[in-house]
Amino acid sequence: MTTARELQTSVWDAECRRDLEAVLSHFHPDAVFHPAGGPAKKGHDAIREMTEEFYSVYPELSIEILNEWGNGESSAVFEFRVNLKDNDGGAVTLDGVILVEIQDGKFTAVRYYEDAPVPVAAATV
């Protein structure tokens, strides 16, 4: 059995590698992703489109799990920090939380919340 942390770490590893097929393999075909500030995306096609759009804006990222609260294999909440680099080489850092629901080792629902991105130069002052 896969724990929530193992599943979350695996999907973020695939995302950092920009392996969209691997990212989608972590979701049930009818999974629902609730992005911060946007409408819910249901199913692989909608999640694919959302992810491709994100990749087109941020070609590089790294993610660190800061805290975790969970219910074994069925659900968890992760506090994270992500470092992003945009197409112009601008770097930003943002913190957020992601709530995940899991069935049979795959995400059925994801709710994503984030703080406003902070330019890296401003964050180090």
CA distance 30 to 43: 4
Q: Could you list the residue range(s) of the whole structural domain that residue 56 is in?
A: 4-123
Structure tokens, 90: 């601008």
Q: Model's pTM, two decimal places?
A: 0.88
Q: Which of 123, 3, 17, 104 is nearest to 60 (CA)?
A: 17
Phi, psi (degrees; rounded to nearest 5) at 50: -60, -45
Residue 123 clears pLDDT 60, i.e. is over it: no
CA distance 70 to 9: 14
Q: How far is CA 70 from the centre of its chain?
A: 17
CATH number for the domain that contains residue 75: 3.10.450.50
Structure tokens, 15: 């995302």
The predicted pLDDT at position 64 comes to 95
CA distance 2 to 52: 26
Task: Quote the number of domains for the chain.
Answer: 1
Question: Which run of H or E residues covers position 23?
Answer: helix 20-24
pLDDT digits 0-9 by tens, 35-79: 998 999 999 999 999 999 999 999 999 999 999 998 878 999 999
